[in-house]
A and B are shown apart, each in its own frame.
Chain A
Amino acid sequence: MIEFKLPSMGADMDEGKLLEWKVKPGDKVKRGDIVAVVDTTKAAVEVEIWEEGTMHEWVVQPGETVPVGTVLALLLAPGEDAATAVRPKPAAAPAPAVERRRISPAARKHAQELGVNLDLVKGTGPEGAVTVEDVEKARAPAAPVDRNLEMRKAIAAAMSRSKREIPHYYLSETVPMLRATEWLARENEKRPVTGRLLMAVLQLKAVALAAAKFPDLNGFFRDGAHQPSSAAHVGVAISLRQGGLVAPAIHDVQAKPLDELMRNLADLVKRARAGSLRSSEMSDPTITVTNLGEGGVEAVFPIIYPPQVAIVGFGGIKQQAVVASVAADHRVSDGHRGALFLAEIARLLQEPEKL
Chain B
Amino acid sequence: MTITYREALRAGLYEALEKDGRVFLMGEDVGRYGGTYAVSKGLLEKFGPERVRDTPLSELGFVGAGIGAALGGLRPIVEVMTVNFSLLALDQIVNSAATLRHMSGGQLSVPLVIRMSSGAGRQLAAQHSHSFEGWYAHIPGIKVLAAATIDDARFMLGAALAEPDPVIVFEYPALFETRGEPASDAVDISSARIRRTGSKVTLVTYGASLPKALAAAEEVDGEVIDLRVLRPLDIDTVLESVRKTRRAVVIDEGWRSGSLAAEIMARIAEQAFYDLDAPLARVCTEEVPIPYARHLEEAALPQPEKIVRAVRGMLA
A contact residues vs B (CB 8 Å cutoff): 104-109, 124-127, 129, 131-133
Contact = CB atoms under 8 A, between A and B. Distances in A.
Contacts of B228: none
A109 B274 contact: yes
A243 B81 CA distance: 85
Nearest to B243: A106
Interface string B257-284: 0000000000000000111111100000
B274 A126 contact: no
A105 B314 contact: no
A126 B316 contact: yes
Contacts of B315: 125-126
A129 B274 contact: no
A105 B276 CA distance: 6
Given A105-B273, A105-B274, 13 more contacts: A105-B276, A106-B274, A106-B276, A107-B277, A109-B274, A124-B316, A125-B315, A126-B313, A126-B316, A127-B316, A129-B278, A131-B277, A132-B277
Contacts of B275: 105-106, 109
B246 interface: yes
Contacts of B274: 105-106, 108-109
Contacts of B278: 104, 125-126, 129, 131
Contacts of A105: 273-277
A109 B275 CA distance: 8
Ranked 7 nearest A-B pairs via Cβ:
A126-B316, A104-B277, A131-B277, A106-B277, A109-B274, A105-B274, A106-B246
Contacts of B313: 126
Interface in B263-316: 273-279, 313-316
Range, interface on chain B: 10 to 19
B45 to A, nearest CB: 59
12 contacts: A104-B246, A104-B276, A105-B277, A106-B246, A106-B275, A106-B276, A109-B275, A125-B316, A126-B278, A126-B315, A129-B278, A133-B277
A109 B274 CA distance: 6
A144 to B, nearest CB: 30
B209 to A, nearest CB: 24
Interface string B177-188: 000000000000
A129 B314 CA distance: 10
B245 to A, nearest CB: 10
A133 B258 CA distance: 33
For B277, B279, B314, the residue with the greatest tally of chain A CB atoms inside 10 Å of its CB is B277
Contacts of A129: 278, 316
A176 to B, nearest CB: 69
A126 B313 CA distance: 7
Interface string B74-113: 0000000000000000000000000000000000000000
B246 A132 contact: yes
Contacts of B276: 104-106
A133 B199 CA distance: 13
Contacts of B316: 124-127, 129
B227 to A, nearest CB: 23
Contacts of A106: 246, 274-277
Nearest to B273: A105
A260 B276 CA distance: 66
Contacts of A124: 316
A133 B274 CA distance: 15
Contacts of B273: 105
A131 B279 CA distance: 11
A107 B273 CA distance: 11
A108 B277 CA distance: 9
Contacts of B314: 125-126
B266 to A, nearest CB: 15
Nearest to A130: B277
A104 B315 CA distance: 12
A109 B278 CA distance: 13
For A106, A108, A109, A124, the residue with the greatest tally of chain B CB atoms inside 10 Å of its CB is A106
Contacts of B279: 126
A97 B8 CA distance: 61
A128 to B, nearest CB: 8
Contacts of A125: 277-278, 314-316
A132 B278 CA distance: 10
Nearest to A112: B274
Nearest to A125: B316
B309 to A, nearest CB: 13
A124 B314 CA distance: 11
B93 to A, nearest CB: 39
A124 B275 CA distance: 17
Contacts of A109: 274-275
Interface string B210-226: 00000000000000000
A108 B313 CA distance: 20
